[in-house]
């Protein structure tokens, strides 16, 4: 009986340590800081692939010229999370809410040119 309890305790310890390792991996995956240094980095790696910012003069542009459209963080979050037309939706495991705010801030200061 005592040996059985010791074996069960050992199995439980191994299972708990494995669960902790999985939880740590998931947490790392959800922290997009592993992928993006800041809003500009996220813009360069994700947004700029499809959006032109030079008055619509980039031939490879799929999305609209964002230098002519001003988005606040909530509006940008809506488009990022839900997608729009050719734009796919990005979940929080791809781009965090904090990074969306940083992208919106970067766009307001560096991309948006106004009318």
Q: Does 45 share its domain with 90?
A: yes
Considering the domain architecture, whether residues 57 and 25 belong to the same structural domain is answered as no
Question: Quick check: 81 and 72 in contact, CB under 8 A?
Answer: no
Residues 7, 23 within the same domain: yes
One domain for residues 49 and 90 = yes
1 and 52 belong to one structural domain: no
Out of 10-19, 48-57, 100-109, which region has the weakest mean confidence (pLDDT)?
10-19
How many H helices and E strands in the chain?
Answer: 4, 0
**Given the residues 48, 87, 92, 98, the one annotated as active site:** 87
The answer to whether the predicted template modeling score (pTM) of the entire model surpasses 0.75 is no
Q: Are 69 and 113 in contact (CB under 8 A)?
A: no
Closest CA to 70 of 39, 11, 9, 114: 114
Q: Residue 107: give the domain boundaries.
A: 35-111
Q: Pick the catalytic residue from 1, 3, 5, 86.
A: 86
22 with 39, same domain: the answer is no
What is the number of domains present in the chain?
A: 2
53 shares its domain with 90: yes
Q: Is the pLDDT of residue 18 over 60?
A: no
3-state secondary structure of 56: coil
DSSP H stretches of helix in 31-67 = 39-45
86 is catalytic: yes
Specify whether 10 is catalytic.
no
């Amino acid at each position: 009986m005592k040996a059985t309890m010791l074996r069960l305790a050992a199995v439980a310890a191994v299972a708990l340590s494995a669960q902790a390792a999985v939880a740590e991996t998931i947490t790392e995956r959800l922290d997009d800081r592993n992928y993006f240094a800041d809003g500009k980095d996220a813009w360069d790696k994700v947004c700029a692939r499809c959006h032109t910012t030079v008055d619509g003069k980039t031939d490879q542009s799929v999305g609209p010229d964002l230098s002519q459209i001003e988005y606040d963080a909530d509006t940008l979050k809506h488009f990022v999370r839900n997608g729009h037309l050719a734009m796919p939706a990005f979940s929080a495991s791809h781009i965090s809410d904090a990074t969306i705010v940083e992208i919106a801030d970067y766009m307001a200061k560096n991309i948006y040119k106004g009318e």
